[in-house]
Structure 1
Amino acid sequence: MPNQLHIFTINCNLLFPVSLRYSPKSEEELILLLNALDELLLSRAPAVLVAVVKLFLHWTQDHPHLKKDMLEMIQPSVCKILSRNVSETSYLLLDFLSTLGDICKVFGPHYKYFLVRAKDPGYLKTQKLKVLPLISTEDNVCCLMEEVKPFCSDYQSFRGAVSCMGLLAKVSHAAHNMCLSMLVTLLDAPAERVVIAALECLMNVVLSPPSVEKNISESPPDPVLSQSSSLGNVEVQNQTTLEESLSQLSLHTEEPKPELKALPMPQNELELPQNLTDAIVRALSHEHVQEAAPSLVLYVLGTLAPYLDSAPDILQRISSLAFSPSVHADLVTAAAQIFISRPAQTQLLLAAILARAFKCVGEPASRAALIYATLQEHPSDAAFLLGATVKQSFRSNNEECQEQQLGGSD
């Protein structure tokens, strides 16, 4: 087998499938095979390079410590191929690199070969924006954010650029603050699609503290960015949180109650600049944004309610819109979250929203019940206040029904 590898570059398509089915019979043979691959790992042909790396990883799956040496060996070839600026081969190579795991230590110092260019086609811009967070380090992250910033308003790549910026913000505190500063501008963008992407990025950033101990490529997907759309998936996350909270209620015991599942960064530790909170309020008050992404707007409004003085006013305006049943459930969730932080301003509005929710058939009513149960914990008098107003509204509704029945019998 080692004697046949020298013709790999000529017959790559034929030899690669055969080579993958071959298993070295001993450690000595494995060493011979890997030595034969050394020259091929320096190939400047993208297809050959990708095939050889796959073959190397297949044969060394029991020796993961060799992976770093392989990455260092292919680094010059990868950078050379990217420098040719051939869109198709660059896309192939970048897509493959994104599957290799931790590559930041090897490729981070050579980040300039991975930068997005204005004349790149849309599919290549998107792929580069996916790879940039994987090669980000504390040394280059601020430079990467400056390079990504112009593409946040690009029609083809704005969503990928804003998402990339949110991932880069997790690398260091400097990048975190830099991202928040950029979001102020994006939240005031005239295009609502950019504002929506900025709101998604905002929740990604403020609820996830920067981590310098763990590489970003090893971090689990963020709860906001993992949603494929802002229009119908945010409520799923809210429901999970509420069900977890409901399962932890212990209303008939004097023992210490278990702590509710905390957000990645507790709200009392958030530090939002005043100009950012002002921009958030303007974005959430935008009528077109409310209509285009109601679930996302309600999620942001409820989560950041302690920092938004006008949250009750925005909620009241949103509550007048016509919602689907699933979005109506998110309205109840946001109203309850705002009530917890601003009970005096939201008491009557929450009672009205809950009364409407209980009249709905199906999921919104059950969601309202979950909210009601959760509120019995935070604050301590919420159950009494909320129960009184809801019972009063139910009593008036029952009286109306009885009057209608009596009138019909007459």
Structure 2
Amino acid sequence: MINDTPIVRREIDRMEVSKGSGLRYGSNGTMSTDLHTASSLSSQESARSHPDLLNEFHCLSLDLTTDVNSDDSEDSMLLPPRSSESSYSDMSEVDGYYDRLTWHHRQRCSKGAWSFVKNSILTLSNFKLVSSFVIWFTTYMIMGVFGGSVAYMHFERSDMTIPDPLPDFGYDVIPYWCPSIPHFRHHGNVQSVVLFILYAIIISGIVVRWEPRYHPKSGFVEWGGDGRLILQHLFHLNSLVFITRTSTVGLTGLPQPNPRCVDQQHLPATFGNALMFVMGRGFPPHACGDLIYSGHVGCTLICMAVLHRHGFLKRKSAAVLVWVVAVIGIYFTISCRSHYSVDVVLAFYFGYFLPEWYYNRSDGRVKGLISKWIRRLEVRPNDFMRLNRVDCQFKQADYQEYPSAIIKQPAERRTNDLSELETYSLLQQ
């Protein structure tokens, strides 16, 4: 029941009179939300003095003046003349707020194929996600063409049947041992399998946390909804690894230490052969001679940074287990002679400072154009609000007869399922 106060009785009587006489609300035939009128100001003062009214009668801040231009109307004497043009808050029955809102909800609630594509696929969040993938793929191709292929051309060719590596302290401590994992073809080394395991853990978490779970009353995200953000962080941090490796791996050619690359030492060093060997045999790229710095270790540490950032490793047992797997992959990077020890050490530097650099800008702790660009590109969980989800059971007639619909709605429904107009009214208080 609505509280029996003078302001509420006056507004209800005004609605009933307007409904019976066929008049529309507002001085120009609209229901206006202009907050500078006398009636709306008095409504706001009454709402502040009676907070309980806001839960019972949500449209007190609306200007409900009738379209009567006679001298007997008190509102016609209090209100200044208005323009006949419709404003943004126009709520008239013809091409006004009701019609637009009803059409919007009808489009969102329709079950056609095009409606599904428009509302579920062609969304801003998915566009941002595709943009992040394009960035990742572009940097990946740049690293393969201008990094790995150039490094393949630079490493020294030899007729020897064994590698001739540079002196390395890690090789003196860690003996050569590179077991081949079956069913992985060209990427059967342990460090590659470890990297695939870490990616699989992250992707599993992305799938589980893709859709948000909303609070039943506030409408804000209570859990999940950050699957897109996790995937974007993985894309962006990997892109930074690709770009930084491109700037180092092709500059200086070192003698390759990997016994599996001995056959490549006898082939002529042409850019065409390099592209065919590095990029022409599938994903991920195959490489010999791309040493500084280790991409396997860098991407492994990036995965660990993402796992820690998004709470995958809150339990100590899970953190210890995953870190043991990561350390095994790092160990076999040297054990398999895929990289020199200096490549692994540099990968630790990049694996720590790149996430630090990125997350400082993603969180807004560092200002600048790059920070603004990163924050605009990322899909935040709070971008998904329950107010943006359509209650398809809220019938079209409720919007066409909005004032009466608000009065007739149960208090529990109004509290748990705020509409756009009610939210606007609350914000104005």
TM-score normalised by structure 2 residue count: 0.27
Higher helix fraction: Structure 1 or Structure 2? 1
TM-score normalised by structure 1 residue count: 0.28
